[in-house]
Structure 1
Amino acid sequence: MRFTKVGALATAALFVFTACSGTPGASGGGADKGSIEVWSSLPRQGSSKAQTDTIVNAINMALEEHGNKAGGYTIVYKDVDDSTAAAGKWDEATEIKNANDAVANDKLVAYIGTFNSGAAKLSIPILCAKGIVMVSPANTNVGLTKTFNAGEPDVYYPGGCKKNYTRVVPADDLQGGAGALWSSQLGAKNVYVLDDTEVYGKGIADVYAKKAPDNGLKVLGRDGIDGKASDYKALAEKIKATNPDLVYYGGITQNNAGQLWRDLRDAMPDVKLMGPDGIAESEFIQAAGAAAEGSYVTSGAISPDQLTGKGAEFIKKYNTKFPAAAPEVYTAYGYEAAQVVLAAIERASAKNPKDTLALRALLLDEVKGTKDFDGVLGKWSFDAAGDTSLTEMTGLIVTSGEFKFDKIIK
């Protein structure tokens, strides 16, 4: 997405850790080269907070596990907020401010973010101009790395600046198609498609609608919703009149998905409801209440309870350290993003950059050149566009008020 500030830096939490080694979880020594900064920019207010709390927890775990140095540098981590209390979600002006503050800081070398794809489209050009690498734990909009809408992704790199964006989660061209395939496998023939009109939501709904005919689905209608509407009763009645087997919503929890679900369920008690990883968070279930039960949710992220090997070990450690903040869909992806950055700092430092700005340039190449990374998500690589080689799509069903793994969609 994800799968959502004025004064953000004033309230940002500051953590100082050290890290080292080019492999996850390793530690080492070396001459003291001074301090550098790594920031994350995530929505820390509103209904995304529960999700991003776990991402920040995971980033801190990665830093702590690396000890005191990364390539001889002391790592200063800032947890920066790109949301506002008024919006209750990410905010354009605040994300732009975060990115501008980042490029003005000569000690900053990496930006873990964003959470929302719309935020990434704003910060990529700003950070690119100064060669600051981005590693997103959650963005899935196709156009960030591939041609989707006209001019993408080059439009985000003004003046031909060196592409600086990567993500550790698969894009929506895979997830939207997986949603259409799963809808067909569930027996649906006629579907109605909704979106929240934001970059992420409209993008994934577009992919779903495009892939629907290939999976034997007829799209009965398509609407964008007003995320601030008091209710969607009229829309629900309009959809009911078309007699769909399934209603698909492309969007995030923060755009009133809970109210939408309640109104759809009231109008059509037996219709199947499906959404993407933008609603794969505990806040969605709380917002939708009983209407969430039985909902189908796709995710490009592997469900925490389905991680194996190093991933399962991480979840066990996480639960021990943070018993009151259960891991969410993107928790492990925040950890992986941090590990990628730390390993790349180690490799870049070995090339003896003369200063932090030189390190920044080397780090961009090292992150984008990540190959066969053996982390909590398995072994994977970044391609030339900055996309992960991971392609697995997960199907979840809300059961007894929780997201339960149902299947790998294929």
Structure 2
Amino acid sequence: MQVTMKFTLIPAAVALAFAGSAWAQQVVKIGHVAPISGPSAHLGKDNENAARMAIDELNAKPFTINGQKVTLQLISEDDGADPKQGTAVAQKLVDAKVNGVIGHLNSGTTVPASKIYNDAGIVQISPATTAPAYTRQRFPGAFRVVASDAKLGGTLARYAADTLKVKNIAVIDDRTTYGQGVADEFVKGAKAAGMKVTGREFTNDKATDYTAILTSIKAKKPDLIFFGGMDSVAGPMLKQVKALGIPATFMGGDGMCTEALGRLAGDGLGEGKVYCAEAGGVKGPQEKVMDDFRARYKKKFNQDVQLYAPYVYDSVMVMATAMQNAKSADPAKYLPALKAIKYEGVTGTIQFDQAGDIKDGALTLFTYKGGKRTKLDVVR
């Protein structure tokens, strides 16, 4: 009797273990991180929505890996655009044993978090980080689907010199990794194009009064003010530029290049006086693909795309496609497939170079007219 009981209990335990293992393999966890709170929450929520949209669409197909139906589960975290909070939630995702991470939005949170993901062997695709430092670390599992600040800063500088005929510039940045980085790259490009930097001022991403630095800049009479930072600071700053009667053109990177800038700047926006560049962009037949995505997004969430949503959506799709190509959701196994991928997405063709940067990344130049963002050109 005793022998028989042992014989029946052991297979039952083994069967239970196998059932648990099979169930675990059916759920693939995709982490997502962005600022869902704080001044940039509108951009973070935009990113989170797009990640959820991609996950929902894949699950509805249904999604399979190596012939097995898989449920993708989105685990979304809020980093508040704060580096300390960013590393904390990165560790939280590592502890949750996610199969990959889409994020973060801000360079200041992405760069420190990337070491945590790298040490844990987790693949990370950032849909928005533009700081060159992110991929210069050469972490094998770190990728981005947008052009870096090195390209953005140089492109804006050439536009300022060649098209706007700017001679003298003043520069302000918010001291974040992103803001300082894009400003530094712009200054490099400006000097190479023969422009003179008449002043370099600093604020922070929580400040609301810029009177002192703008008064200093006004005395130097620049043709153009370049700002490195997000729209939540650029908007109020533009109001104060107008209040102080500074006639200079205003320019910035993708962090301020949003539809929301018109609302945040109010009458400080002016007409054709603000220029910016978004990392990414499409033209030609690809515009219809992007328009279709925007329409689907609005139907699902009852709001317009803010900025990075198409890149988040493509990031999820690229990661999922790499898993399918590798027939595994194990980061170590699908990483080679991701490095070799050529994916036709909403934002165009996605391929990565040896550093994890997108190949031939596009930039879109914009100005603002009638309070609305108006596209000027897409350049590569």
TM-score where L is the length of structure 1: 0.80
Is the contact between residue 43 and residue 81 of structure 1 (CA under 8 Å) also seen in structure 2? yes
Q: Within 5 A, what are the aligned runs for 1:7-46? A: 33-46=25-38
Give CA-to-partner distance per residue, 1:141-184, whole Å, 9 cap, x none: 011113xxxxxx25xxxxxxx52210101101000001101111
Q: 1:65 matched to which residue of 2?
A: 57
Q: How far is 1:191 from its partner?
A: 0.6
* Aligned-residue RMSD, C-alpha: 2.3
Counterparts of residues 94-113 of structure 1 (less than 5 Å): 94-106=85-97, 108-113=98-103
1:44-193 → structure 2 map (5 Å cutoff): 44-66=36-58, 67-71=61-65, 72=68, 73-83=70-80, 90-106=81-97, 108-146=98-136, 153=137, 163-184=140-161, 185-193=163-171
Aligned to 1:157: none
How far apart are 1:58 and its partner, in Å? 2.0
2:11 aligned partner: none
Alignment gaps of 5+ in structure 2: 1-22
- Superposed CA offset, 1:172-230 (max 9, x none): 10000011011111121111111111111101110111111222311111122134444
Contact 2:282–2:348 (8 Å) recurs in 1: no
| AA aligned opposite 1:74 | T
Q: Higher helix proportion, which one? A: 2
Equivalent position amino acid for 1:37 in 2: K
Higher RCO by CA contacts (8 Å cutoff, separation 6 or greater) = 1
Alignment check: 8 A CA contact 1:311 1:378 kept: no
Q: Which has more radius of gyration?
A: 2
Alignment-derived partner of residue 392 in structure 1: 362
Aligned residue in 2 for 1:86: none
Match of residue 320, structure 1, among 290, 299, 306: 299
* Cα distance between partner residues in 1 of 2:82 and 2:133: 20
Which amino acid in structure 1 is aligned with residue 40 of structure 2? S
CA shift in 2, pair 1:275/1:240, >3 Å: same
Residue identity opposite 1:57 in structure 2: N
Distance in 1 (CA, whole Å) between partners of 2:235 and 2:377 is 24
- Paired with 1:105 and 1:59, the residues of 2 have a C-alpha distance of 18
Structure 1 residues 199 and 395: CA distance shift in structure 2, 3 A? same
User: Following the alignment from structure 1 to structure 2, what is the Cα–Cα distance between the partners of residues 245 and 268?
Assistant: 13
> Where does residue 296 of structure 1 map in the other structure?
275
**SS of equivalent residue, structure 1 residue 390:** coil
**8 A Cα contact 1:139 1:167, kept in partner:** yes
Residues 353-405 of structure 1 deviation map (CA, whole Å, 9 limit, x = unaligned): 5xx6xx121123322332x2111122231111000013322111122222111
Q: CA, structure 1 residues 305+270, in 2 after alignment: closer, same or farther (shift >3 Å)?
A: farther
Task: Output the CA distance in 2 between the equivalents of 1:110 and 1:258.
Answer: 35
Corresponding letter in the other structure for 2:170: Y
How far did residue 409 of structure 1 move? Answer: 4.9
Q: Give runs of ≥4 in structure 1 deviating > 3 Å.
A: 226-230, 303-307
Count, aligned residues: 350
Select between 219-228 and 173-182 the one with higher mean Cα deviation. Answer: 219-228
Match of 1:250 in 2: 228
Amino acid at match of 1:205: A
Report the Cα offset of residue 326 of structure 1: 0.3
Could you say which residue in structure 2 is the equivalent of 1:403?
373
